[in-house]
């Protein structure tokens, strides 16, 4: 047994492996074994492990200053915030954090504070982070062992079981809109299986929010930054969120970092009310430097052209494996996919056959890096497809 914990597992049954180094999209394990990462680690290593632009930007910033007071104004902070708001195509302000869970916590705190209401509406299937507030809106096994704010959460059914949101709306009416501060949703459910809601469902939910003056919090910690195609997942559904929570790909995993977009209405509220939110490493300059590099590199024609090609190749591989007997269902959008298997998939099987992947009980989550080269991507997908083809049932 090691002297450190593994996350989300019984320690004696933890899946782990000897890791030595990483380059581009390849992890080097013990005995010089190389595996292609098809999940961007936990969906954060979206620009691979050797992204010169990000590394150089962080290094340059370290030489200038590596830390800053939350009170400090500096051009990097202002310029990056402007560029992020531009990419979001929304007016408002950004609150910086150091993780996805903290982005959610701060959005929930602000929503409850402004509305002076406690209830947050959340989906049956969702993941929003490991802190108690974020876990209380999370809908999966991870909140079962903790006492979370269940009385403050209203669960609505999954969109596939309620395609025109009739049940969701009736549950909210029954609860009483005077008690509801916000609806908190992953725009595209990520780790829990890539479940997409139709435009009709989003239209109903967003117009209900508008009509009843309920905040819409969109969790884009996983699906933000081109993961599902557009810069942000909500841009495909014509939504105007009050909060958008971001992390993971915001720095490609190079620095722990996160952000919360807040609308003008939220921003204005705090012009003359105390914003009772903060953290020691607020707007960390190294996080901002990584984000700066990502905003610049994703704006390039080369990045976008390469991304579209990889999306097409990914889709064609998914279409092919859909036909295998071992595969039950495939769901995907952009470079994010869930593959439900008839039999539990094995993390070790994939690792032994050349791929690092996120593997659940019966579902594989794929989230390859957004800047894979054509050659490496072909190899990575080939190993994956071959492992699946060689499974029986
Ligand atoms: C949609 C979503 N929200 C929030 C989180 C929490 O992020 P973190 O682990 O950085 O706290 C995750 C992490 O997987 C996530 O997928």
Name all domains of the chain by residue range, CATH numbers in brackets: 11-50+303-389 (3.90.1150.10), 52-298 (3.40.640.10)
The per-residue pLDDT for 3 is: 96
**Residue 53 C-alpha to ligand 1 middle, in angstroms?**
25
222 lines ligand 1 (CB under 6 A): yes
* 147-161, 238-252, 293-307: segment of lowest average pLDDT: 147-161
131 lines ligand 1 (CB under 6 A): no
Mean residue pLDDT of the chain comes to 96
Of the residues 101, 223, 250, 358, which should be mutated to test ligand 1's pocket, given the most ligand atoms within 8 Å of the CB?
Answer: 101
The per-residue pLDDT for 392 is: 64
CA dihedral of residues 241, 255, 84, 308 (deg, nearest 10): -90
Q: Strands across the sheet with 19-23, in order?
A: 19-23, 26-29, 34-37, 355-356
Element (H, E) at 245: strand 243-246
Condensed to tens digits (0 to 9), the pLDDT of residues 58-87 reads 999 999 999 999 999 999 999 999 999 999
Cβ-count burial 6-38 (b if 16+ within 10 Å, e if not): eeeeeeeeeeeeeeeebeebbbebeeeeebbbb
Mean pLDDT score, 340-358: 95
250 lines ligand 1 (CB under 6 A): no
- Burial class for 392, CB neighbours closer than 10 Å (0-12, 13-18, 19+): exposed
Q: How far is CA 82 from CA 21, 36, 71, 93, 207, in A?
A: 35, 35, 18, 9, 28
Nearest CA to ligand 1 atom 8: 100
- Rounded Cα gap, residues 171 and 148, in angstroms: 21
101 lines ligand 1 (CB under 6 A): yes
220 lines ligand 1 (CB under 6 A): no
Mean pLDDT score, 324-349: 96
- Grade residue 1 by pLDDT with cuts at 50, 70 and 90: confident
Long-range contacts of 343-346 (CB under 8 A, 24+ apart): 343/391, 343/393
Instruction: List helix spans (H) across the chain.
Output: 40-43, 52-64, 75-88, 100-115, 132-137, 166-175, 199-212, 264-269, 285-298, 301-321, 347-352, 374-389
Work out which ligand 1 atom sits closest to the CA atom of 130.
11
Of the residues 141, 221, 224, which should be mutated to test ligand 1's pocket, given the most ligand atoms within 8 Å of the CB?
Answer: 221
Mean pLDDT score, 192-196: 96
Work out which ligand 1 atom sits closest to the CA atom of 191.
16
219 lines ligand 1 (CB under 6 A): yes
- β-partners of residue 338 are 331, 365
Mean pLDDT score, 44-49: 98
**Residue 359 C-alpha to ligand 1 middle, in angstroms?**
16
Give the 3-state secondary structure of residue 209.
helix
189 lines ligand 1 (CB under 6 A): no
253 lines ligand 1 (CB under 6 A): no
- Express as a percent the part of the chain with pLDDT over 90: 95
- Burial class for 217, CB neighbours closer than 10 Å (0-12, 13-18, 19+): buried
Nearest CA to ligand 1 atom 13: 129
186 lines ligand 1 (CB under 6 A): yes
pTM of this prediction exceeds 0.85: yes
**Residue 94 C-alpha to ligand 1 middle, in angstroms?**
18
**Residue 174 C-alpha to ligand 1 middle, in angstroms?**
30
Residue 42 has pLDDT above 90, yes or no: yes
**Residue 11 C-alpha to ligand 1 middle, in angstroms?**
21
Residue 167 has pLDDT above 70, yes or no: yes
Mean pLDDT score, 160-165: 97
Condensed to tens digits (0 to 9), the pLDDT of residues 249-286 reads 999 999 999 999 999 999 999 999 999 999 999 999 99
Work out which ligand 1 atom sits closest to the CA atom of 99.
10
Mean pLDDT score, 308-314: 98
Of the residues 42, 104, 122, 129, which should be mutated to test ligand 1's pocket, given the most ligand atoms within 8 Å of the CB?
Answer: 129
* More confident of the two residues 146 and 379: 379
Residue 393 has pLDDT above 90, yes or no: no
């Amino acid at each position: 047994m090691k002297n450190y914990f593994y996350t989300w597992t019984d320690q004696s049954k933890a899946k782990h492996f000897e890791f030595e180094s990483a380059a581009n999209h390849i992890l080097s394990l013990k005995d010089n074994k190389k595996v292609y990462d098809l999940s961007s680690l936990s969906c954060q290593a979206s620009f691979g492990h050797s992204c010169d632009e990000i590394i150089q930007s962080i290094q340059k910033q370290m030489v200038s200053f590596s830390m800053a007071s939350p009170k400090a104004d500096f051009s990097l902070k202002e310029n990056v915030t402007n560029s992020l708001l531009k990419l979001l195509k929304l007016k408002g302000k950004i609150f910086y954090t150091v993780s996805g869970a903290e982005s959610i916590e701060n959005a929930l705190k602000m929503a409850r504070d402004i509305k002076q209401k406690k209830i947050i509406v959340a989906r049956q299937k969702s993941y929003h982070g490991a802190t108690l507030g974020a876990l209380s809106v999370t809908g999966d096994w991870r909140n079962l062992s903790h006492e979370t704010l269940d009385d403050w959460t209203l669960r609505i059914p999954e969109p596939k079981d309620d395609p025109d949101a009739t049940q969701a709306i009736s549950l909210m009416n029954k609860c009483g809109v005077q008690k509801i501060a916000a609806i908190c949703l992953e725009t595209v459910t990520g780790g829990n299986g890539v479940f997409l809601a139709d435009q009709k469902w989003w239209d109903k939910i967003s117009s209900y929010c508008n009509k009843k003056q309920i905040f819409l919090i969109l969790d884009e910690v996983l699906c933000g930054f081109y993961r599902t195609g557009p810069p942000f997942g909500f841009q495909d559904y014509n939504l105007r969120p009050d909060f958008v929570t971001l992390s993971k790909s915001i720095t490609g995993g190079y620095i722990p970092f996160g952000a919360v977009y807040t609308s003008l209405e939220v921003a204005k509220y705090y012009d003359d009310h105390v914003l009772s939110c903060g953290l020691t490493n607020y707007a960390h300059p190294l996080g901002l430097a990584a984000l700066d590099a990502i905003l610049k590199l994703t704006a390039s024609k080369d990045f976008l052209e390469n991304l579209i090609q990889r999306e097409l190749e990914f889709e064609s591989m998914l279409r092919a494996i859909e036909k295998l007997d071992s595969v039950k269902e495939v769901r995907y959008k952009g470079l994010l996919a869930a593959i439900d298997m008839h039999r539990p998939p094995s993390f070790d099987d994939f690792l032994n056959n050349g791929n690092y992947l996120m593997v659940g009980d019966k579902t594989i989550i794929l989230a390859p890096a957004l800047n894979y080269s054509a050659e490496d991507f072909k190899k990575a997908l080939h190993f994956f497809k071959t492992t699946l083809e060689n499974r029986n049932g």
